[in-house]
Amino acid sequence: MSVELVLVRHGNTFGPGDRIVWVGKGEDLPLVPSGRAQAKALGDSLLAAGWTPTAIFSGGLKRQVEHLALAAPPGSPEAVRLEALDEVDYGDWGGLTTEEIVERFGAEEMIAWNERSVWPGGARWPETEAEVRGRVQSFLDDVSVGAFGERVLVCSSNGLLRWFLDAVPGALERARQEGTFKVKTGGVGRMVFEPAAAVPGWTVTHWNCPPSEFRP
Residue 102 pLDDT > 90: yes
Q: What is the predicted pLDDT for the residue at 105? A: 96
SS3 at position 56: strand
Which residue, 129, 190, 186, is CA-closest to 157? 186
Pick the catalytic residue from 4, 10, 67, 109. Answer: 10
Pick the catalytic residue from 4, 66, 67, 87. Answer: 87
d(CA 34, CA 19): 16
Read off the pLDDT band of 181 (50, 70, 90). very high
Q: Distance between alpha carbon 135 and the CA centroid of its chain, in Å?
A: 13
Per DSSP, 196 falls in state T
Burial 56-91 (b: 16+ CB within 10 A, else e): bbbbebebbbbbbbbbbbeebeebeebebbbbbbbb
Read off the pLDDT band of 158 (50, 70, 90). very high
Which residue, 75, 5, 67, 79, is CA-closest to 47? 75
Averaged over 85-99, what is the pLDDT?
Answer: 98
Read off the pLDDT band of 1 (50, 70, 90). confident
**119-131 pLDDT, tens digit each:** 999 999 999 999 9
SS3 at position 173: helix
Residue 192 pLDDT > 90: yes
SS3 at position 35: helix
Q: Which domains does the chain have, with CATH numbers?
A: 3-213 (3.40.50.1240)
What residues form DSSP beta bridges with 57?
A: 80, 154
Which residues are known binding-site members for substrate? 63, 87-90
- Catalytic site includes residue 10: yes
The sheet that has 201-209: what strands, in order across it? Answer: 80-81, 55-58, 151-156, 3-9, 188-194, 201-209
Averaged over 110-135, what is the pLDDT?
Answer: 97
- Catalytic site includes residue 206: no
Computed over every residue of the chain, the mean pLDDT equals 97
Which residues are known binding-site members? 63, 87-90
Per DSSP, 107 falls in state S
Q: What is the predicted pLDDT for the residue at 43? A: 98
